[in-house]
Structure formats: structure tokens, C-alpha cells
A and B are shown apart, each in its own frame.
Chain A
Amino acid sequence: MEIPELNAMFLFRRRPVALPADLRPSWRIGLILLLLKVCCRRGRSTLTRLHALSWGIRAEQTRSALLAVVTGSLAHNGDVIVRFDPALNRAVDFALGEQLIRRCGGSRIELAPKGDALATALEAAEEAYQTEKIFMREIKQKFTEGLVDQLFSRSN
């Protein structure tokens, strides 16, 4: 059967794909800077703690779990499984490349002056990272490296 309409050249074009914002470098870098600024003493953290914080802040359930860890109100049989997100490593790499953060000692990273300025601007920008900021102000700097160690020794 001959269908004249089909006698045309086909052209396939790839449409841009929708991407959740937390997988964008810009959103995640902003989050890292804010976490270092608000939740880490002297803007320094191990990568592990950053992973735990970044995991904890991203959804309602994980937020309450992290808060329970911080306040020590976690049920005895409660188990927290922190998921390591490879996207965070890439974001950290980008931030290192941009010299927003820098390596400090062996395993830790810290805010570089450029990153510190950007984090301060982000803190002041009221409309940005609203939910995240509320949460950060709640846990403050109480999620210490010690707690991180406890958390992981517990789940192991």
C-alpha cells in the first residue's frame, strides 16, 4: 500500500532531557557551599560527613532521620542507611576546579575565599534554598565528625 504522506524524509531530533534540579552542578555546588558554611566548623568537613549531610537534607524522610541522629532520639532498633551519591563527588570535583573549595590535609575539604563569598551571598538571598536553610539552622553544627563515625560503625 502506498501512503503518499510517508514519502517524506524522516528527521529524528533528540529533545533535551528534563533533569531534576538536585542533579545540576549549580544546585549541588550551592548546597555544598551552604553546608560547609552553616553546618561545619571553620568551613571544614570530611567527604563522608558531606555525603551524610547532603543525603540527609534532600527529602522529608531523610531530614527527620538525620535530625533524630543529631538529637539522639533515634530509636534503639532504628537503622539509618546513608546513601552515597556519586553525583556529590562530581559536584565536589567541580567546586574544587572552580576553586570554591580546596583540599585541606589529607581527607578534608574547606571553603576557599571565593566559595566563602558565594556562600555568604547565598545565605543572604532569601528566596534561595529556603527549605534547606531552615533545616541547616535546625541542626546547626551539631552533626559532628564523631557522630558520623558512630553512624557508620553502627550500620556496619
Chain B
Amino acid sequence: MRFRRLEIRVQTSDGPYGVTLDFPDGLVLIWADNSMGKSTCVKAMLIALGMEAMLTTSQVELPIAPSVKTRLESPTGEHDVLESEVFLEIENAAKHRIVVRRAIKGSRDKNLITVYDGAALTATNSPGGSRDFFVNRAGAATRELGFHAYLAEFFGWELPAVRTYDGDERPLYFQCILPYLIVEQTRGWATTQPPVPTHFRLRDPNKRAVEFLLALDAHAVALKRQGLQAELARIDTVWRSQFAAAMEFAERTGGKIFELPSTPVATWPPTMAVAMVLPHGETWVDLEVRIVSMSAQLRELVENEIPRVKDISSSAQVELTQAELLVRDRQSLLSRLLDTLEMDRREIGAIAERLRAIDEDIQRNKDARVLTQLGSTQDLAFDKGSCPVCHQTIQDTLVPLEPDQAVMSLEESIAFLGEQRRTYGGVYENAKRELSSREKQVQSLRVEVSALRDRVRVLRQTLVSDGRGPSIAAIEERLRLDGSIRNLDAARAHFDTILESFAELARAWSTAQSQLNELPRVNVTTRDSEKISSWSAVLRDQLRDYGFASFKPDQAQISADSYRPEHDGFDLQNTISASDLIRTIWSYLKGMLELSRSVATNHPGFLIFDEPRQQSTKDFSFGKLIQRSADASAFHQQVIFFTSEDRNRLRSHLDGLPHTFYEIDGRVLKRL
């Protein structure tokens, strides 16, 4: 991408003012004196591209000098600004030109940018069509009518998706990339890596911008890793909720599930088979086994024709006796269980009481600590372990102890009680679990007893009914079995679907895990580290050229992890002098430009520095920067400097170098 022409037009009460600047390939210098409007030009270029977020977080005011917004100063005095606009003609790699136009002051919507197809500013022939795009609104970077979505297409850029702190994905915003290409004066010269707007809440915007500009693989790898980690987190959440649902289901059916892992596992089915069990008397029986045994009973009943009362009266008599025995047996078991249940409840109550006491004691120890702290300002003697009256040593206690018996300090006491609390907390949880399991047993036993009583009742009924009728007991038994089996079958079907969903999750878990393992350990690939090491080489080369003196330039390099310049593994920023910081910024950003000449990158091939000679960097260094930038034309790149250096010295630096030099005397914005 190249800049071709900038036009600023300001309509004032004194008539039209403005400036026109052409930008050919190669090194372009624009000279004007201090505070005459150079930075206004740079800012106007940024605003034309909708990049004001680089300069401000305000959505209301465009960040530009008052001379184009409110009052313009000119040799003839101050004039009110009535309307102002900026036009920028740019050309992409395919030599296609467009003109963007944005109003700074006037009735037009400031968030609209009009794009004219063709070289509307430099060519005389009439432009092609025009379209309006918006900026500063949600979707400016993604939607079709968003200006930055359009600009990315014009640049031939496919902006990578990056993660935000809110967990969303957004395209890497233009406003995060352009600081690497355009260094604006008010904020750009303060840090080794350019300041990137943070209010978009993108994660690691600097890293992502470098990775994109230099077309590093690292971002793709990092993105993949992030995606996989998000997937693992998702599976974990789903697994946990499914686990809770499964436990709830077991609770509802009065059973328990054994060996179901509560957190995701990769091997499914687990080595210990997951099983659902139901209480049966004092023991637990597998659901499957229970269904099989009940089905067998039912089958036997169905196979035999329903007997007549007279045929079975003797066997029914026997059965009745058995059933009555069984009722008594179960009844006594139930009362035993109820006794234990009561004991369990009492124990839990005792533990809870104990926990309360411990908590209270902890609180009182803390109270005593507060008093000691408050009392220390009053210089109390007993805090120091001596009697306030006779000044003999005393123990920190109100009850007499054996001689030589030491007392725990307050802190020790609190720790000691905390430990006790943990232990009792564990015991309490355990007792609660046991209680709930016992309650389930009691419940199921009650159901069984009531079924048995029914049985006794129907057997009695059978025995007293007409001898020719069918046995009520046999019919009732069949119905009961049939109903229970149907219930258990439904439970089993549900349990199977639960298991199936876990199997699916386990498969997804194992796939994601293995994909994560296949990713390279660090995000940087070989191709990436080659790029970074040649970038480092270009950086060192320039530091030598520019006379970097804080340490030996050979020791500088660019971190493969943060992509920031480093010295011996430490960030440069805080260890170097202010002027060396400026040299580093030159070398770092220009290094990217130079790197793009030899390797494939996304660098658009231009660089704009607003007043590059900061912090009284030596004139010699600046001369070197100019010399080194002059070769830009040979690579069809563009380097634009806005400066107010001494004109004669500039001329001597430029002597014999290919360049374009504009000298603007007085104010940049002139009467047209």
C-alpha cells in the first residue's frame, strides 16, 4: 500500500485554506517549522483512514488540532472554521487507486467515510462510483459496509481472528496494526513497541499485530491451542453438569451410581464398569441383575396358567405363613435400621454442635487478637507476658496451670482450631453421606414391607374366597411384577442414554487432548524463528549504524516470545537511555520494513515517522536514518518523515540520495 496524495480543505470565514501533499515512492521528507501543522497532517491521514482510536478513546471529538476544527490561525489573524474535510488517495499492491474522504467539521456525519474508485485526486479524468462506509461503530471491521472491512480487502489482508478478554473472537483491528506503520508524535515515541489501543479488549494485541505483519505461523498455532483449550473447558463443564444430572436421576429412582468419574476421562468405558445399583434389604443390587431376576419370576408366573383357589389353597397357606414370617423379619430389620438412622442423626447433630463450638472459639481467638492489637497502642503489660502490678512473668491464661506448662500463642491456637475444624468438617460430610445412604435403604425397605403386607392381604383374601375362582394372589403378583419391571426398564433405558452421552464426551475429550499434544510445545515454528532472527540481525545492524551506546548492539535481539527487543533476555525499555530508546524504535519498525524485502510478510511496505528526531538524538544518528531510508525507492517502498530539523543539515544529509523533499514555509495550511 502506498500513499499518493493528502488534501486538507478548510472553509473559513476568511475563505478556503488547505494543503496538498504528494507522496511518490521512496524517501519523502516534509519540512516545516515547529507547531506549524505537520502533526495535523499526520493526524489527518490517520483520521482519513478511520484510525482515531490510535489517538483517543473519545467517540465524540476527532483528535486533531483546532485549526481544522474550530479556529484557524493565519498571518491575517484568526478565522472561524466553517467546514473542513480531508481527502487521501492511496494505491494498493495491484496499482489500484482509491480516494477516501472524511468530514472533520461540517454537517456531514463524522463516522461516514466516502470512498471514490480511481485516482480522483491526482488524475483529471472523472472518478468511478463512490460508496459510503462507516467507522467507529460495531461491525466496522466485519460488516460489508464497515470501512475497515473494506480497507482490509483493499490492502489484500485477511485479518486474523483474535480472542478478546470477554471470550469472543474479533478480527485483529486495523487500529492495532497501523501503530507499527505510522508513528505519530504525541504517543508514538514512548515505548519500544508502539502503543496499541487497549479499549478493544483484545488479548495480546501487540503480539498478534507483529505475527500478522510478519506472517508468522505462531498465531495460527496459538489460536489452535486457545480453541482446543476452550473445547476442553467446554467438555469439562458439560461433563460436570451431566454428572450432576446422573446423580440426581439416581437419587430420584432411589438408587446409586458407582464408578462414574466426576471429571472428564479419555478412556471410555472406564476400567471399573459404571453401574447403577438399587437397595435390596440391607444390600445393594445391580439394576441389570434385578431386572433379570424379576423377569424370570414373571415368566414363571405367566407360563403357569392362573391357578384356581381350590388347587392352591394348601400351597397358598404355606406361602401365607412364609409371607407373614417375611413381614416380621423385614419389620424387625426396618426397626433396626431406624434405630441406626436415629443414632446417625444424633451423631450428626453432635458433630454439628462441635463444629459450632470450634467456630465460636476461633472467633473468640480472633477477638482476643483484635484486643491485643488495639491494646498494643495502650502499652498493656499482660500482652508482653508480665503482671501489670508486680511485673513478674505470667502465663497467657486465667486458669492456673501446672508449673512449666506453656500455653499456645493466639496464632497457634487459631491454626490448631482451624486444623480441628477441617477434620470435623470431613467427618461431618462423611456422616451426611452415610445418613443419606441409610435413608435410602429405609425408604426401600418400607416399600418392600408394604408390598409384603399387600401380599399377605391378598393371600388371605384368596384363602377365604370361592374355591372355583382364580387366585387373586397370583393375579396380583403378576401385575405387581409387571409394573416394577416396566419402571426398572425405563430407568435402565435412561441410564443407558446417560452412559452414551458420557461416551461421546470422553471421545471428544480424548480427541482434543491428543490434538493439543500434537501442537508444537512453543508456538514459534522454525520458519518463524528464522524470520525473527533475521529481524534481530537487521535491528542490530541499524543500532550500530545509528550509534546506539547503552550496551553493545550485538547483545540486542528480538524475543521469540513477546517479539519485543531484549538485552540478555531482559526487556530493553527500562535499561536504556532516552535517545537510545528512539534509536531502538527506528530500528525495530524499520527492521520490519527491511525484513519484508527478503521474506514473505503482510507488511504493506510503507512507514511514516512524525518528527523522528526525538530526545535530542544526535544529528549524526538522524543522518544515518535518512541514508538508510533512502533505499526505499529501490524496493518500491515508501518512507515518509515529517520533520522540523535544520534545513541546511537536512540538505547535506540528503545530498546524493534519491528522495523527495518538501519545504513548507510558515503555516502548513495556507490560503488557497
Partners in one complex: yes
Chain A residues proximal to chain B, CB less than 8 Å: 14-30, 86-88, 90-91, 94, 97-100, 114, 117-118, 121-122, 125, 127-132
Contacts A/B (CB < 8 Å), 8 sampled: A14-B404, A17-B407, A20-B364, A21-B365, A24-B397, A27-B367, A118-B375, A131-B360
Quick one: which of B396-414 are within 8 Å of A by CB?
396-399, 401, 404-410, 412-413
* Residues of chain B with a CB closer than 8 A to A100's CB: 380
Chain B CB count within 10 A is highest, among A86, A98, A130, for A98
Decide if B406 touches A98 in the complex (CB within 8 Å): no
* Residues of chain B with a CB closer than 8 A to A22's CB: 361, 364
Give the residue of B364, B405, B407, B409 whose beta carbon is less than 8 angstroms from that of A27: B364
CA distance A97 to B394 in the complex (A): 13
Main secondary structure of the interface of A (DSSP, over half): helix
Decide if B398 touches A128 in the complex (CB within 8 Å): no
Decide if B360 touches A24 in the complex (CB within 8 Å): no
Given A23-B399, A26-B382, residue A14 in contact with residue B405 (CB < 8 A): yes
Given A21-B364, A21-B367, A24-B396, residue A14 in contact with residue B374 (CB < 8 A): no
* Closest-CB distance, B84 to chain A (whole angstroms): 60
CA distance A122 to B366 in the complex (A): 12
Chain B CB count within 10 A is highest, among A17, A25, A30, A117, for A25
* Closest-CB distance, A134 to chain B (whole angstroms): 12
Closest residue of chain B to A132 (Cβ to Cβ) is B367
Closest residue of chain B to A98 (Cβ to Cβ) is B388
CA distance A130 to B406 in the complex (A): 29
Chain A CB count within 10 A is highest, among B378, B398, B416, for B398
Q: 7 smallest A-B Cβ distances: which pairs?
A: A97-B388, A21-B364, A87-B398, A30-B371, A27-B368, A128-B370, A16-B406
Given A87-B399, A90-B398, A97-B381, residue A125 in contact with residue B370 (CB < 8 A): yes
- Whether, in the assembled complex, B510 has its beta carbon less than 8 Å from a beta carbon of chain A, the answer is no
Closest residue of chain B to A28 (Cβ to Cβ) is B398
Decide if A128 touches B360 in the complex (CB within 8 Å): no
* Closest-CB distance, A135 to chain B (whole angstroms): 13
Closest residue of chain A to B372 (Cβ to Cβ) is A26
* Closest-CB distance, B481 to chain A (whole angstroms): 54
Decide if A128 touches B371 in the complex (CB within 8 Å): yes
* Closest-CB distance, A94 to chain B (whole angstroms): 6
Decide if B388 touches A24 in the complex (CB within 8 Å): no
CA distance A23 to B364 in the complex (A): 10
- Whether, in the assembled complex, B387 has its beta carbon less than 8 Å from a beta carbon of chain A, the answer is yes
A23-B398, A26-B382 known; 8 new pairs, CB 8 Å cut-off, are A16-B406, A17-B406, A19-B397, A19-B408, A25-B398, A86-B399, A98-B380, A122-B370
- Whether, in the assembled complex, B631 has its beta carbon less than 8 Å from a beta carbon of chain A, the answer is no
Given A87-B398, A118-B378, A128-B366, residue A29 in contact with residue B360 (CB < 8 A): no
* Residues of chain B with a CB closer than 8 A to A29's CB: 371, 382
* Residues of chain B with a CB closer than 8 A to A17's CB: 401, 405-408
CA distance A137 to B30 in the complex (A): 79
* Closest-CB distance, B414 to chain A (whole angstroms): 9
Contact with A along B405-434 (1 / 0, CB 8 A): 111111011001100000000000000000
Decide if B398 touches A91 in the complex (CB within 8 Å): yes
* Closest-CB distance, B153 to chain A (whole angstroms): 61
Decide if A125 touches B398 in the complex (CB within 8 Å): no
CA distance A153 to B145 in the complex (A): 93
- Whether, in the assembled complex, B389 has its beta carbon less than 8 Å from a beta carbon of chain A, the answer is yes
Closest residue of chain B to A89 (Cβ to Cβ) is B398
- Whether, in the assembled complex, B335 has its beta carbon less than 8 Å from a beta carbon of chain A, the answer is no
* Residues of chain B with a CB closer than 8 A to A125's CB: 370, 374
- Whether, in the assembled complex, B363 has its beta carbon less than 8 Å from a beta carbon of chain A, the answer is yes
Give the residue of B381, B388, B413 whose beta carbon is less than 8 angstroms from that of A21: B413
* Closest-CB distance, A11 to chain B (whole angstroms): 15
- Whether, in the assembled complex, B383 has its beta carbon less than 8 Å from a beta carbon of chain A, the answer is yes
Give the residue of B361, B371, B417 whose beta carbon is less than 8 angstroms from that of A122: B371
* Closest-CB distance, A33 to chain B (whole angstroms): 8
Decide if A114 touches B372 in the complex (CB within 8 Å): no
Decide if B398 touches A117 in the complex (CB within 8 Å): no
* Residues of chain A with a CB closer than 8 A to B370's CB: 30, 122, 125, 127-128
Decide if A16 touches B388 in the complex (CB within 8 Å): no
CA distance A20 to B417 in the complex (A): 10
Give the residue of A19, A23, A27 whose beta carbon is less than 8 angstroms from that of B371: A27
Closest residue of chain B to A115 (Cβ to Cβ) is B378
Given A16-B407, A125-B370, residue A21 in contact with residue B397 (CB < 8 A): no
CA distance A98 to B367 in the complex (A): 19
Given A30-B368, A118-B378, residue A94 in contact with residue B406 (CB < 8 A): no
Decide if A19 touches B378 in the complex (CB within 8 Å): no
Closest residue of chain B to A26 (Cβ to Cβ) is B368
Decide if B374 touches A122 in the complex (CB within 8 Å): yes
Decide if B375 touches A97 in the complex (CB within 8 Å): no
CA distance A5 to B374 in the complex (A): 51
Give the residue of A18, A27, A97, A128 whose beta carbon is less than 8 angstroms from that of B416: A18
Closest residue of chain B to A33 (Cβ to Cβ) is B371
Given A19-B407, A98-B380, residue A127 in contact with residue B366 (CB < 8 A): yes
Closest residue of chain A to B398 (Cβ to Cβ) is A87
Give the residue of A16, A98, A132 whose beta carbon is less than 8 angstroms from that of B382: A98
Decide if A118 touches B374 in the complex (CB within 8 Å): yes
CA distance A28 to B364 in the complex (A): 10
* Residues of chain B with a CB closer than 8 A to A24's CB: 365, 368, 396-398, 410
* Residues of chain B with a CB closer than 8 A to A118's CB: 371, 374-375, 378
Closest residue of chain A to B401 (Cβ to Cβ) is A17
Closest residue of chain B to A128 (Cβ to Cβ) is B370
Chain A CB count within 10 A is highest, among B388, B408, B409, for B388
* Closest-CB distance, A124 to chain B (whole angstroms): 10
Chain B CB count within 10 A is highest, among A17, A27, A86, for A27
CA distance A24 to B412 in the complex (A): 13
* Closest-CB distance, B385 to chain A (whole angstroms): 10
* Closest-CB distance, B352 to chain A (whole angstroms): 13
Closest residue of chain B to A21 (Cβ to Cβ) is B364
Given A26-B383, A94-B382, residue A128 in contact with residue B367 (CB < 8 A): yes
* Residues of chain B with a CB closer than 8 A to A129's CB: 367
* Closest-CB distance, B189 to chain A (whole angstroms): 51
